[in-house]
Chain A
Amino acid sequence: QKEVEQDPGPLSVPEGAIVSLNCTYSNSAFQYFMWYRQYSRKGPELLMYTYSSGNKEDGRFTAQVDKSSKYISLFIRDSQPSDSATYLCANSQGAQKLVFGQGTRLTINP
């Protein structure tokens, strides 16, 4: 079993829809939770970073962490075609070695 599980998709939604992306993890020692976005042939870029249970909002993006069920989510409101990318969840125990999920490929259709 992988430490971080993520549905690879692909996921295709119409422009303006609310998108929900999810990961589960198995290592209780994880303290840091991140979502990265990766465009084709580019390196990952950080979207959201949290180290506690609960919600964190940044513009159209909301990250949600539930440590009791080891479940993390990313919600995208008013999705745009420019949001089309692969979304990677990443967890870390000590914030150095990141453990990534497989990534979910998302397409927003105009």
Chain B
Amino acid sequence: GAGVSQTPSNKVTEKGKYVELRCDPISGHTALYWYRQSLGQGPEFLIYFQGTGAADDSGLPNDRFFAVRPEGSVSTLKIQRTERGDSAVYLCASSLSGLGETQYFGPGTRLLVL
């Protein structure tokens, strides 16, 4: 079956612009996660959704970052007033129920802020 998909695969934007990154989880997975991976580093947790609600958003770095999952499936990560330091790979993962099962990762969106 299809895995986690993310669009776009690459995004180049200018400092100060707004961007949206999309994640399509594996069908039937209720738990969805966003991570950010800077060059040469491991992924860092941003936010975890259980269904439509954000169960843990403790990793969002500031109020420029926001994520939604209105129907409990697709999720969008939104970044306002982008800064050069936001440049990274944004990874999405999903798991069946969020109760300790495997998290399956997508290929990521590579964001470059000029």
Closest to B4 in A: A43
Closest to A86 in B: B42
Confirm or deny: B14 has a beta carbon within 8 angstroms of a beta carbon on chain A: no
- The reply to whether A97 and B59 form a contact with Cβ atoms under 8 Å apart is yes
Size range of the chain B interface in the assembly: 20 to 34
Of the candidates B40, B44, B100, B107, the one whose C-beta lies within 8 Å of that of A95 is B100
Of the candidates A42, A46, A96, the one whose C-beta lies within 8 Å of that of B107 is A42
Query: Shortest beta-carbon distance, B27 to chain A, in Å?
Result: 17
Residues of A contacting B31 with CB < 8 Å?
96
Query: Shortest beta-carbon distance, A101 to chain B, in Å?
Result: 5
- The reply to whether A49 and B42 form a contact with Cβ atoms under 8 Å apart is no
Residues of B contacting A49 with CB < 8 Å?
102
Residues of B contacting A90 with CB < 8 Å?
42
Bound complex: CA of A96 vs CA of B35, how far in Å? 12
Confirm or deny: B98 has a beta carbon within 8 angstroms of a beta carbon on chain A: yes
- Report how many A-B pairs have Cβ atoms within 8 Å: 61
Residues of B contacting A41 with CB < 8 Å?
107
Residues of B contacting A96 with CB < 8 Å?
31, 33, 48, 55-56, 98
Of the candidates B48, B56, B103, the one whose C-beta lies within 8 Å of that of A46 is B103
Residues of A contacting B65 with CB < 8 Å?
none
Residues of B contacting A103 with CB < 8 Å?
40-42
- The reply to whether A88 and B43 form a contact with Cβ atoms under 8 Å apart is yes
Bound complex: CA of A43 vs CA of B35, how far in Å? 11
Write the residues of chain A forming the contact surface with B, with a CB cutoff of 8 angstroms.
4, 6, 8, 32, 36, 41-46, 49, 51, 88, 90, 94-103
